[in-house]
Amino acid sequence: MYRKMVVLMGIMIILGVPDLSYSKTAGMSTLTASDAERMIKEYLSGHTPWSEDQIKVKNISIANNIILPSTWDYEITPAPKATMIGRTAFSVNINTNGKPMQTFWINADIEVWVDVVLAVHTMKERQVIGDDDIYIGKKDLAELPPGYADDIGSVAGKRVKRFVGTNRPITQDMLEEPPLFKRGEKVFIVAESETLKIIATGTAESDGYKGRPVKVMNMQSRKEVSGEVIDNTTVRVKW
């Protein structure tokens, strides 16, 4: 997900996303950090998948002491190739009466807080994840690994490939589907056509995963056959 967002923002920058422009009318004043924070938040919420509630802007640095006229508007643009996560620079143009007045840079640390699936407690290798093993928390996007999970439904019922620590983010590459049956368990071998259906009992030669091929020993003929795993008790073979 993180990679997808970065690619999306890169495309927007390359294609020339229009700058944000706003008009303000007030007495002479100085541009404050709060003004800069609002500018950045409004830009990001309009040009990224994130809402203002998800965005935190910190450690704002304004290049100069900016004196604002009574009537002004501005345009804000991120620096070229900016990912807009972490330390980011923005160019700001201040205009008055339709004429450019001054241009300056704003630098700020940007945090984006997103939903992520986290481990309630430690989980052992090959443990099947239950609803009580995970929860949804908030994390800074910059600190998350690629492929992090953000939906309980996409994680519950799957099995972890390796040890998972408490409160660690769950990523797709640490998950696998658990087998519907294990090697040595008895299953039904089903072969059918439009007019005939044959069912035999067999023993699984390996763990069986839904939709995948598996070899089964026919207990009656003692012959090994290959078929597709249908459910936790059934293997379908070609007629």
Whether the CB-CB separation of 196 and 205 falls below 8 Å is answered with: no
Question: Which pLDDT tens digit goes with each residue over 127-162?
Answer: 999 999 999 999 999 999 999 999 999 999 999 999
Alpha carbon distance, N-terminus to C-terminus of the chain: 43
User: Does domain 114-176 bear CATH number 3.40.630.30?
Assistant: no
In whole angstroms, give the CA distance from residue 159 to residue 128: 4
The pLDDT value recorded for residue 27 is 56
Coil, helix or strand for 159? strand
pLDDT greater than 80 at residue 12: no
The yes or no reply on domain 2-111 and CATH 1.10.3210 is no
Q: Spell out the residues 6+ positions from residue 127 whose beta carbon is closer than 8 angstroms to its own.
A: 133, 159, 160
Whole-model pTM over 0.75: no
Q: Report the distance separating Cα 3 and Cα 125, nearest Å.
A: 27
- Report how far Cα 147 is from the mean position of its chain's Cα atoms: 6
The residues spanned by each domain of the chain are: 2-111, 114-176, 186-236
Amino acid occupying residue 210: K
pLDDT of residue 112: 96
As separate numbers, helices (DSSP H) first and strands (DSSP E) second, the chain gives 2, 15
Cα distances from 210 to residues 70, 125, 126, 190, in angstroms, run 69, 21, 17, 15
- % of the chain residues with pLDDT over 90: 71
Please report the pLDDT score of residue 14 as a whole number.
40
Give pLDDT tens digits for 158-206.
999 999 999 999 999 999 999 999 999 999 999 988 788 899 999 999 9
pLDDT in the model for residue 65: 84
Q: Do domains 2-111 and 186-236 have the same CATH topology?
A: no
Q: Specify the pLDDT at position 28.
A: 67
Task: Please state which architecture CATH assigns to domain 186-236.
Answer: Roll (2.30)
Q: Write the Ramachandran bin of 190: left for phi over 0, alpha for psi from -120 to 50, otherwise beta.
A: beta
Q: Is the pLDDT of residue 18 over 60?
A: no
DSSP state of 37: H
Contacts 24+ apart (CB under 8 A), 214-218: 216/187, 216/189, 218/189
Task: State pLDDT tens for residues 52-85.
Answer: 999 999 999 998 788 888 888 899 999 999 989 9
